[in-house]
Amino acid sequence: MLTAHRIALDPNNRQATWLARAAGTARFAWNWALDQWQQQYAAWKADNRRPRPSEAALRRQLNAIKREQFPWMLKVTKCAPQMAIIQLGQAFENFFDGRARYPKFRRKGVDDRFTITNDQVNVRGLRIRIPKLGWVRMREPLRFSGKVMSATVSRTADRWFVSITVDTDDPPRRPAENQGVVGVDVGVTALATLSTGETIAGPKPHTALLRRLRRLSRSLSRKQKGSRNRVRARRKLARLHARIANIRQDALHKLTSELPRRFHTIVIEDLNVRGMLANRRLARSIADMGWGEFRRQLEYKAARRGGLVVAADRFFASSRTCSACGHKLEVLPMAVRRWLCPACGASHDRDVNAARNLARYAVSSTVSACGEEGSGGSRKAVVKPASTKQEVSFVPA
């Protein structure tokens, strides 16, 4: 099993300068290869007798000219430009297979990173050896034991990190406490509402630090380009953005670790997050909660415990359906947070009612009428909607 551990580095000034130079070399190699790929692909489309571009051919082309045209590349590890071109080839492969968008040019200050192969990196205790640089201190030791596959050094704000990928043995699964099935309804007022009635309030770091973010952004816009004051202002703003991201990640990791520990089956909504971000009234609140990252973390952490994550159908009316009798409302505006069922008179909190309906959805998803998924001992981490339409059987409370 491949596992990555991201560790903060503690380089001195000379080492930080070298890391920035290596990241710049990798960025230049990516942009050079992307430009060459576009030119060679256009020529191949015009004349099929020409060779189609590939990452292997581009790496050979760069090696042939870098000593004369780019001699400064020799001052850093050879892995920086070579791995950048290999990653570009993987990006194009993902694009042609429909798994990703078209690769973009990397930008300085945004895409500062480079990768080292396993034969060039060595980790010992609180140090990591980077070729042509030497030993660099790490803030904590590597948590996993096994074969080191690669190491990616990146910069966030003014801090350097290394992500070490290790090939480890599959750890023994720690089963959940088996508190049953839980429905999780994510929202913008609260990060998550559980079918048990629990409400987890999100930290909303972007909203909490928005005034300071605006002040630092205005300060940066008033600085003269190329001045040292602008560099300092940009660094302050980058630190604040990193702090906001760290607060959000901390809350998501805590919640996504707690849910698989308690429940063996977790039901969530299959939300179109990208489409919902097009709503200018809700985009900031949705992004501040991190719904997409919440689902990603929940899926792999549940798989580690042998649990099950069920994604309810995108058009399942979880909020408009009464969890007591099954009556479905025609319309339920977003502003309505509590409502009375006209059929049975039950009073519902919008989010709690949605979470309870999601919990009941697991019955029809794990015991499928089409026979595609079962609820036996070998559970899958993610259950996708069935290929044929299924009738959701409502189970009254």
Are the C-beta atoms of residues 18 and 76 closer than 8 Å to each other? yes
216 is a domain residue: no
Residue 179 pLDDT: 80
**Residue 120 sits in the same domain as residue 186:** no
Nearest to 317 by CA among 291, 280, 348, 286: 348
- From 112, 185, 288, 299, active-site residue: 185
Of the two residues 374 and 146, the one the predictor is more confident about is 146
pLDDT above 90 coverage of the chain, percent = 64
Are the C-beta atoms of residues 157 and 102 closer than 8 Å to each other? no
**Residue 17 sits in the same domain as residue 113:** yes
What does the pLDDT average to over 147-170? 93
Question: At residue 232, does pLDDT exceed 90?
Answer: yes
Question: At residue 330, does pLDDT exceed 50?
Answer: yes
Distance between CA atoms of 135 and 142, rounded to whole angstroms? Answer: 15
**Residue 109 sits in the same domain as residue 187:** no
Residue 1 pLDDT: 84
Single-letter amino acid code for the residue at 212: R
**Residue 372 sits in the same domain as residue 287:** yes
Sort 213 into a burial class: Cβ within 10 Å, 0-12 / 13-18 / 19+: middle
Distance between CA atoms of 367 and 356, rounded to whole angstroms? Answer: 18
Domain boundary at 167, 193, 212, which?
Answer: 167
Residue 351 catalytic?
yes
**Residue 111 sits in the same domain as residue 250:** no
Are the C-beta atoms of residues 246 and 263 closer than 8 Å to each other? no
- Name the DSSP class of 166: E
Distance between CA atoms of 345 and 317, rounded to whole angstroms? Answer: 19
240 is a domain residue: no
- Name the DSSP class of 197: S
**Residue 189 sits in the same domain as residue 112:** no
Number of domains observed in the structure of the chain: 2
392 is a domain residue: no
What does the pLDDT average to over 236-257? 95
Domain that holds residue 112: 2-167
Whether pTM > 0.75 for this model: the answer is yes
What does the pLDDT average to over 126-151? 94
Of the two residues 250 and 395, the one the predictor is more confident about is 250
Distance between CA atoms of 289 and 270, rounded to whole angstroms? Answer: 16
What mean pLDDT, rounded, does the chain reach? 88
What confidence tens digit (pLDDT) does each residue in 56-69 have? 999 999 999 999 99
Question: At residue 133, does pLDDT exceed 80?
Answer: yes
**Residue 258 sits in the same domain as residue 283:** yes
Question: At residue 72, does pLDDT exceed 90?
Answer: yes
**Residue 324 sits in the same domain as residue 378:** yes
List CB contacts of 313: < 8 A, sequence separation 6 or more. Answer: 270, 385
**Residue 25 sits in the same domain as residue 119:** yes
Question: At residue 374, does pLDDT exceed 70?
Answer: no
Residue 395 pLDDT: 43
Residue 360 pLDDT: 87
What does the pLDDT average to over 362-388? 44
Nearest to 344 by CA among 305, 310, 386, 394: 394
136 is a domain residue: yes
Pick from 34-38, 92-96, 358-362: least confident: 358-362
What confidence tens digit (pLDDT) does each residue in 268-314 have? 998 888 888 888 888 999 999 999 999 999 999 998 888 889 998 88
Question: At residue 9, does pLDDT exceed 80?
Answer: yes
Residue 258 catalytic?
no
**Residue 163 sits in the same domain as residue 117:** yes
What confidence tens digit (pLDDT) does each residue in 77-130 have? 999 999 999 999 999 999 999 999 999 999 998 999 999 998 899 999 999 999
Residue 205 pLDDT: 95
Domain boundary at 167, 192, 225, which?
Answer: 167
**Residue 318 sits in the same domain as residue 341:** yes
227 is a domain residue: no
225 is a domain residue: no
Residue 334 pLDDT: 82
- From 269, 299, 330, 391, active-site residue: 269
- From 55, 288, 299, 351, active-site residue: 351
211 is a domain residue: no
Single-letter amino acid code for the residue at 9: L
161 is a domain residue: yes
Segment of 1-5, 115-119, 151-155, 291-295 carrying the highest mean pLDDT: 151-155
What confidence tens digit (pLDDT) does each residue in 175-205 have? 777 788 999 999 888 999 999 999 999 899 9
**Residue 195 sits in the same domain as residue 142:** no
